[in-house]
Amino acid sequence: MTKSWKATVLTILPEMFPGPLGISLIGTALEKELWRLETIDIRDFATDRHRSVDDTPAGGGPGMVMRADVVAPAVDVALERNPGAPVIYLTPRGKPLEQARVRDLAQGPGVTLLCGRFEGLDERVLEARQIEEVSIGDFVLAGGEVAACALIEACVRLLPGVVGARESLAQESFEEGLLEYPHYTRPREWEGREIPDILLSGNHGKVADWRRQQAERITRERRPDLKSKPK
C-alpha cells in the first residue's frame, strides 16, 4: 500500500485530536488508513518540572508568549517524523487559506500544523524554521487546534478513496472561481416553495446551464472578488 497522507499536529492539547476528525467521512478514512494522524505534545519539550511552554512578552504587554526554545525542538521532531511535509502555523495574521492551497497540500505527502496558544509564538521560531503562516478567516480563536481540524478535513476529503463520487468535488464552491449553485431534493413542494421546473425537466443540458447561471449570480452578489482570483 502506498504511504498514506499524514497530518502531524503540534499542540499543548493533544487530547483535542482526533476529535471531529475521528467521525463521519473523515473518521472512516482514518480507520481505513487512507490518511494518518499524529499529535506531538509541545509540553514534552519543556525543560522545567512545571512543563512550561510560555513566558512574559519581551517589551511588556498582556498575556504570555510561547517560547522558542520549547517549540523549536518539537518542530524539529515533527520534521523528522513527517519529512517533506510543509510546516504551517495557524494564525489570524497568516495568508488566507484558499482551495487552491488545499489542493496543493492534499497532493503532497501531508502537512505539519503548529497550533499556537496564549498571545502567540516567538517570532524567531517562524523565521528560523521558515514556517508558513496561514489563516482560516478574519477572526480570533483561543488556539490553533480548531483551525488545524478545519485544514486537515479540507485536505483529507480530496484524497483518493475518501469521497465516493469524485465528480462532485469538481462542482463545489471555489473549484472554478465560483460559489456553488443551489441544491434541491424531495418533496417537490415545501411550505409553498417549489423546486425550479428546469431541474425536473429531464434536459441535462438546460439543467447544467441553469446551474452555471445560478453559480455566477451568487458569486457576483456575494463574492465578486473570486472572479478576479487565479484558479
Task: Using DSSP bridges, classify how beta strands 110-115 and 193-194 pair: parallel, antiparallel or unpaired.
Answer: unpaired
Q: Would you state the cell numbers that stand for residue 57, as one nine-digit string?
A: 512578552
End-to-end CA separation in angstroms for the chain: 32
Mean pLDDT of the chain: 94
Number of H helices, E strands in the chain: 6, 9
Answer whether residue 168 shows pLDDT above 90.
no
Question: In the block, which residue shows the cell 428546469?
Answer: 198
- Position 174 scores a pLDDT of 72
- Position 176 scores a pLDDT of 81
- Position 177 scores a pLDDT of 86
High-pLDDT (> 90) share of the chain, %: 90
Which residues, in sequence order, are CB contacts of 1 under 8 Å at separation 6+? 33
- Read off the pTM: 0.91
Answer whether residue 1 shows pLDDT above 50.
no
Q: What domains are there in the chain, each with its CATH number?
A: 5-156 (3.40.1280.10), 166-228 (1.10.1270.20)
Answer whether residue 45 shows pLDDT above 70.
yes
High-pLDDT (> 70) share of the chain, %: 93
- Position 3 scores a pLDDT of 84
Pairwise CA distance, residues 37 & 177, whole Å: 31
